[in-house]
Amino acid sequence: MDRWTTGSSVPQCVSYNGSGYPGVIRITGTSSFWTIQDCKIHEVENWQDTCISGAGTSSDSSVFGCDAGYCAHPSAGLASATYGIHIEGASPASRASNITIHNCEMYAIGRYALLAVYVDHLRVTNNDIGGINLDAAHKGWTSQFMALGISDDTIIQYNKVHDMYAYIAVDPAKETVPRCHAGDWMHFWTDGISPMTNVVIDGNWFYTSDTTWKERLNNSVIGQISDVNGIRISNNLITNIATQWGGIFVFGSNGQYQAKNIGIYNNTIVQWGIKDSPDTIPAIFICGSPGGGLENCDLSTTKIKNNIFLNYATSGYGYPIFVTGSGLPSIDYNIFYNPNNLAVSYISFNGTLRTLADWRTYTGGCPTGQDCHTQFIDPKLVSVPASVDATGQGNYSLQSTSPAIHAGTNLSEMFTTDKKGAARSSWDIGAYEYAPGNDTIPPAAPSGLSVN
């Protein structure tokens, strides 16, 4: 650690010294067996100044200085926006290892809440990371939850990640362009030559809850995840996607390595709608982008199973899956539904939109084709907020009458618990295994009874 003075109960302003990567907590070199736990990092240096004027690029430094009550670098710009926690090994061959970040709260970080490069055996668990609504003039924000580069054996589990982007001016008189570089909420990358291996993203909740955070931003919630060989994205709850490329985005960089062995299981993804044509935003992008490219993926090793896709769009397609690449993915045991009864397509496969029936026929027909157990039906979640502004307050577990109960396929060779850590015994679809205590809706009153 080289940025923070410990032992003080008074909030401290940690200044960037102008060299290297700034970070409130920073671990570098071949460090190993560190635990960062029970920390609170709020409103770090330049959080409100990142890319606010001029060209809006990483080289732009035409930013204003300290705003009332906040610490800011007078000529910083994005290039020196402070990170929350920065961990970086010495090189791809000499990495940091066995680093744990647990039970920390990180709000209003200027660039990355967490940047990890050349780190093996990283564990990020039970953290609360996101933006914070300070007042009408100031919306604290975090541009990215995590950027992970050239690292292996990573577990990201049970975190709450929310409100990561504000598309309003901190000071309209000074801020002349929209906030830039929000990017992905979680961004993984490699050198395009060696793959990133053994990544688990499990049991997290990603949501957007405030009206002022609802502009669509670039890229995705869990992505861009590039050049990975072996990733499991499971048991996550993603509510109100406010991104261009969906909730989950995994791709190959068209470099020397092909993304493969991608597993997306038992996630619950609920979409209400945001500005800028939200109804055309799929829940999942695999090996492709709306503009083309990023298609270097082996779809034959991609599996998408046991997921719930619930979309409240009132127009457009609202289809949940977009895949582009070589081979045929294995997709089945999902539930997708639009309460507004649109003529909903199910999948865009290599540029062609297909309904569920058409997709089944295209892949060989049942019982041997794809998605023979997938249903277009209301999943009957316990309490889905009617307002998009309350997405952080719903109960997205299953009602006792949900068609998702006992409808999934057994994936116990990979994991055996749900989002809450409860054992999966019947393999329900979605992030939550049904438990009677989760269903708070009283049963309907009986009718047609008589007394003799």
Which position has the token pair 């992030």? Answer: 431
CB 24 within 8 A of CB 13: no
Given this model, what pLDDT does residue 419 score? 96
Given this model, what pLDDT does residue 154 score? 92
> What parts of the chain have a pLDDT lower than 50?
1-19, 49-80, 134-139, 166-183, 211, 213-218, 275-279, 290-291, 440-443, 445-452
Q: Give the CB-side neighbour count of residue 327, counting CA atoms within 13 A.
A: 18
**Residue 253 CA to its chain's centroid (Å):** 19
Express as a percent the part of the chain with pLDDT over 70. Answer: 61
Report the DSSP pairing between strands 132-133 and 139-140: antiparallel
| Max intra-chain CA distance, the chain | 88
Distance CA 363, CA 329 (A): 10
Distance CA 231, CA 250 (A): 9
Given this model, what pLDDT does residue 120 score? 92
Residue 441: both structure tokens together: 């809706």
Distance CA 122, CA 156 (A): 8
Given this model, what pLDDT does residue 232 score? 94
Task: Give pLDDT tens digits for 345-394.
Answer: 899 898 898 999 999 999 999 999 999 999 999 999 999 887 666 666 78
CB 8 within 8 A of CB 72: no
Given this model, what pLDDT does residue 166 score? 45
Q: Please, which residues bridge with residue 233 across strands?
A: 201, 264
Distance CA 412, CA 375 (A): 22
* Residue among 146, 87, 142 nearest 120 (CA): 87
Residues in the chain: 452
Given this model, what pLDDT does residue 242 score? 59
CB 363 within 8 A of CB 330: no
Given this model, what pLDDT does residue 438 score? 61
Which position has the token pair 């401290």? Answer: 12
Q: Please, which residues bridge with residue 222 across strands?
A: 186, 248
Distance CA 243, CA 269 (A): 13
Given this model, what pLDDT does residue 224 score? 62
User: All domains of the chain, ordered by start, with CATH?
Assistant: 23-376 (2.160.20)
CB 222 within 8 A of CB 233: yes
Given this model, what pLDDT does residue 113 score? 83
Averaged pLDDT score across all residues of the chain: 73
CB 36 within 8 A of CB 100: yes
Mapping DSSP onto H, E and C, the string for 173-186 reads: CCCCCCCCCCCCCE
Given this model, what pLDDT does residue 343 score? 61
Distance CA 375, CA 352 (A): 20
Q: Please, which residues bridge with residue 243 across strands?
A: 217
